[in-house]
Structure 1
Amino acid sequence: MEDTEKDSQQHPDSVPEMGEDAVMTAGPSSPFPALTEEERQELQEELVKVEDEIQTLSQVLAVKEKQLADIKRKLGITPLNELKQNITKTWQGVTTSNAYRRTSETLSQASLKATAAFSNVGSAISRKLEDVRNAPTFKTFGEKVETLKTKMSPSASATTPNDRDDGSPATDSLLGQPEGSPTQEAPMN
């Protein structure tokens, strides 16, 4: 309680709460014109009347809310069903809005452009790889590997590189040798 008093002393220009307390604390220092005793009595009666009406309306509202809850319960409408319906209505409202449609169209166009860009990048990479394979340096390297392969395999010298595939006699002869048998190897220079 002392904290409240200290707080109100520290903040003298704070706004009082609305309601009975505010009316009582306003007193004669309020900016309203001075009231006669008769006017003051009428306003006091009107205040009591309005407060009674508010209380009555609050009670009626509570009864109506209870009646609403009973009807919903009898119909099988649960808070979860209401939430789902609200979400569905809200989503329909969002999807039919102009902003959503414009955003959706923009994203769709961006997706198409991105797909085209990725396709172009893929094609460019494929072309570059093909260029590298057809480059003289790569062919020379391939020929050197083939020459080395021919030198390493003694029976492969009888066949040409174009006549062989992975199941060639040269490969088969190397694979068919027992583990302990010596193989011929040409020195690498």
Structure 2
Amino acid sequence: MEDHNSANLSDPASPAASVASAEIAAEFAALSTEEKEQRRAEWSQELARVEEEIITLRTVLASKTRHASDLKRKLGITVWKELTEDVNQGVKNIKESTVYQRTESVLKTTGEKTASVFGSFTSGISSRLSQMKNSESMRSIEASVGSAYENVKAFSSVVRWRIA
């Protein structure tokens, strides 16, 4: 069984941490002046060692991070490529999840039922949409959207080139 007091000591606002702090303060107050000075000196030395270790670890981490970046650059792995792979993996994980598959199944069944109910209604709309699609204003909109798409596509490849 887990000791709840030790689990809460890391949270200074917890009651267990307050009790532990009070106990430590009482023990410290019971020490002689010489023992208090010795304890403070020990703590200061330990703090200096720990801070030095932290600086060393940060230096090593920065070095390893630079080395990893150099290797990625040599392998042709760019930030854009990593992001794309992460997004693709995320989508794959979602699609493989049971929740997604159940939802997809329910939506498919619901869609089939809805399609049969509204079949005649949608056929009327479909014919009206076909008429709209063949209209002059729709062709004008398609041309504008196509041109905008080409502009975005060209801009995207420039951005990818600059990122790489």
* TM-score (structure 2 length as normaliser): 0.53
Q: CA deviation at 1:49?
A: 0.3
Task: State the distance in 1 between where 2:43 and 2:107 align.
Answer: 63
- Tell me whether 1:99 sits opposite 2:99 in the alignment: yes
Question: How far apart, in 2, do the equivalents of 1:80 and 1:72 lie?
Answer: 12
Cα shift at 1:117: 0.5
What is the distance in 2 between the residues matched to 1:121 and 1:57? 68
Alignment partner, residue 82 of structure 1: 82
Partner deviation per Cα, 1:95-138 (whole Å, 9 max, x = no partner): 0001100110111011000011013768xxxxxxxxxxxxxxxx
Q: Does the residue aligned with 1:77 lie in a helix, a strand or coil?
A: coil
Greater Rg over alpha carbons, structure: 1
Aligned residues: percent identity? Answer: 36
1:21-76 Cα offsets, whole Å, 9 max, x none, are: xxxxxxxxx74322621111111100110000000000000000000000000110
- Equivalence for 1:58: 58
Q: Which amino acid aligns with 1:118?
A: F
Distance 2:85 2:121 in 1: 46
Take 1:40 and 1:96, find their aligned partners in 2: how far apart are those partners? 57
What does 1:5-44 align with in structure 2 at a 5 Å threshold?
31=22, 32-33=24-25, 34=28, 36-44=36-44
Give secondary structure in 1 for the equivalent of 2:89: helix
CA distance in 1, matches of 2:65, 2:119: 61
Distance 2:80 2:92 in 1: 18
Name the CA distance, whole Å, in 2 between partners of 1:120 and 1:79. 50
Q: Distance in 1 between matches of 2:71 and 2:120?
A: 63
Paired residues for 1:110-149 under 5 Å: 110-119=110-119
Alpha-carbon distance in 1 for matches of 2:61, 2:100: 39
Amino acid at match of 1:51: E
Which letter does structure 1 place at the counterpart of 2:111?
S
User: When the two structures are aligned, how many residues end up with a matched partner?
Assistant: 95
Residue in structure 2 matched with residue 173 of structure 1 by the alignment: none
| Structure 1: segments with no counterpart, 5+ residues | 1-14, 16-29, 123-189
Instruction: Say if 1:87 and 1:46 are closer, same or farther in 2 by CA, change over 3 A.
Output: same
Q: CA RMSD in A?
A: 2.2
